[in-house]
Amino acid sequence: MIIEVTDLNFSEVVKKGKVILDFWASWCGPCNMLNPIIKELAEEHKELTVGKVNVDDYPELAGKHGVMSIPTILFFQDGILKDSSIGVVSKNVILNKLESLG
């Protein structure tokens, strides 16, 4: 399941376990290329929390977390930002970053 992340639920979404947040926009070609990978990860790894932040709807949330370009994936472990990835990356790159979270 993919959660739509907003200003209101951000803290709740990232506070427990491994979390990836995909900062994206509907008009962004690379974001649309990454989307199937994000969906696949959400389906295959039920222990993982997967969220998407639409930067057009929540620009202040993107700014607060230093997102300067999209797509950007932020990796959280128990509420703490541990890593990030900018641009379209492979599923293996995302899985390796998740593995390094512990």
Give catalytic residues, as residue numbers: 28, 31
| Helix, strand or coil, per DSSP, at residue 5 | coil
| Helix, strand or coil, per DSSP, at residue 47 | coil
Reported residue count of the chain is 102
Q: In a 10 Å sphere around its CB, with 0-12 CB exposed, 13-18 middle and 19+ buried, how is residue 25 labelled?
A: middle
